[in-house]
């Protein structure tokens, strides 16, 4: 599935613009600690959103970790077997 299509399914509307990024695939991750929650602001329509910007917070009930790539924080990762991103948002 394309990134634009995934965006549209998550937000409930087509992206206003697109942008390419270089993505480093790390060989090693550095454990930072337990992931407690993630909080983000977006304008999604799916998952109960009304298309206005709102803050969404998802707390993790254990088992999730926060890690960074071996290049000193170029990318952060939240890892957990029960965490997935669906059209409705982040679920655990």
**Helix/strand number for the chain, H first, E second:** 1, 7
User: pLDDT for 49-80, tens place per residue?
Assistant: 676 778 888 888 777 899 998 876 678 899 88
Q: Give 64 or 81, the one with higher predicted confidence.
A: 64
User: pLDDT for 8-49, tens place per residue?
Assistant: 887 778 888 888 877 778 889 999 999 998 888 887 765 556
CA distances from 2 to 8, 18, 23, 89 (A): 10, 12, 16, 17
Domain ranges of the chain: 3-91
């Amino acid at each position: 599935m394309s990134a634009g299509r995934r965006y549209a399914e998550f937000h409930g509307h087509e992206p206003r613009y697109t942008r390419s990024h270089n993505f480093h695939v790390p060989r090693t991750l550095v454990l930072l600690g337990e992931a407690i929650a993630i909080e983000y602001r977006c304008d999604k329509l799916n998952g109960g959103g009304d298309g206005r910007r709102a803050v969404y917070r998802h707390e993790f009930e254990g088992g999730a970790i926060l890690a960074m790539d071996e290049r000193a924080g170029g990318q952060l990762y939240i890892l957990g077997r029960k965490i997935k991103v669906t059209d409705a948002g982040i679920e655990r």
